[in-house]
Amino acid sequence: MTAIPKYASAPTDDLSFCDLIANCEIRALIIRVGSAIANFFLSIMTLIFPCCTSSKKPTNAEYLFLARRDENSQYGCCGSFSVEKADIIWQKLQKDPAPGISFDRAIVHNAKSIIGTCTAMSLEFASTYFRLREEGVSEALLDKLRSLEEGFKESSEEMRSRQIAFSSITVDPTAAIDISKSKIESCVKCHDFSIDYCSDEIDITSGIDILRQEIERLPQGVYFVRMLKPKINHKMEERGHSMIYVHEKDLTFFYDNNQGLENITPVSAVGTLLERLSGLHQEWDIPNVRFYRLQPFSLLPHVYSGPW
């Protein structure tokens, strides 16, 4: 098995709205100052004790590209956004959500900033992957995926604007629906995706073997992976994290915007994915895992026909 990268703190893109915006600028400043201080002392320690220090870059794993990190998460994932861009995305999300799901425009208009862009970045990666896959064979595909580093190593105002629209999701608690599936179905429509298969929702605390069995029986496809901690609130979760798992013939990739794009050998795919998801749960306390297979409405000429 490849070694799992260290995840330092909880993902915050899907906290409750009040937690989402409170003191974001102060937190960002604290993170940057703390990161600078930590890097200074790390440099000193590296000079004095080179054998006792280690890089934050993952080892024993082939990453086609790595995310630029701001200590605990992807650089640029925290900050301001464009209300105008977010409102355009909100309008598309609100056009045809699943039953029991809506998007609260007040959240978009009242928010000052946001922390985290995992859903926005993951869906953008999935759209790009589908487009690139149609353009060439697997050998050329690897080179094309490596070339995505410039666009995916950091987050941006564009992604923050998309994320705040996704984060405005609201669940009707009286609706008789599969809540987690309905939420993802409603979000991925914005990228012209449908969900044609989804796994059971697995609670990692009930046993790692159950998760292993679920991964082993996944049919081939490109999966939106969602981990979350449930909570009774407007979107029925306390926090969560989104990723992409590509499970196709002779091709296996795992994309986490806080880490980068990992190229996994098919024979080690199950074990590696178990390590990644278990590590996320242990560090961030997000026990629920579910896989949603994405199906593009149309692959040609472009996967995504959104407004940006």
Given a cut of 80, whether residue 16 has pLDDT beyond it is: no
Position 137 scores a pLDDT of 66
Interacting residues of 216 by C-beta distance below 8 A, sequence separation 6+: 270
In 72-208 the beta strands, taken as DSSP E runs, fall at 73-74, 78-79, 101-103, 114-115, 169-171, 193-198, 202-203
Query: What is the rounded average pLDDT of the residues 193-201?
Result: 97
> Which whole number is the average pLDDT over 278-284?
93
What residues are paired with 203 via a beta bridge? 288
DSSP 47-63: HH-GGG---SS-SSSEE
Contact 125, 31 (CB under 8 A): no
| AA identity, residue 275 | E
Q: Which of 298, 281, 11, 236 is nearest to 102 (CA)?
A: 236
> What is the rounded CA–CA span in Å between residue 73 and residue 71?
6
Question: What are the C-alpha distances in Å from 83 to residues 87, 119, 145, 155?
Answer: 6, 18, 31, 17
User: 118-133 and 138-146 helices cross at what angle (nearest 10)?
Assistant: 140
Are 264 and 272 in contact, with CB atoms under 8 Å apart? yes
Using one digit for the tens of pLDDT, what is the confidence trace for 225-276? 999 999 999 999 999 999 999 999 889 999 999 999 999 999 999 999 999 9
Backbone angles phi, psi at 232, to 5 degrees: -80, 100
Chain mean position to CA 57: 19
pLDDT-derived band at 11 (thresholds 50, 70, 90) equals low
Domains of the chain, CATH where assigned? 17-296 (3.90.70.20)
| 191 neighbors 306 (Cβ within 8 angstroms) | yes
Which residues 6+ apart lie within 8 Å of 137 measured at CB?
none
- Alpha-carbon distance of 261 to 149, in angstroms, equals 9
What is the rounded distance in angstroms from the CA atom of residue 204 to the CA atom of residue 225? 14
CA 164 to chain CA centroid, nearest Å:
14
Under 8 Å between Cβ of 117 and 91: no
Distance CA 25, CA 16 (A): 17
pLDDT one-digit tens code per residue, 25-67: 444 444 444 444 443 443 333 333 333 323 344 444 799 999 9
Euclidean distance between CA atoms 164 and 115, whole angstroms: 9
- Tens digits of residue pLDDT in 159-178: 999 999 999 999 999 999 99
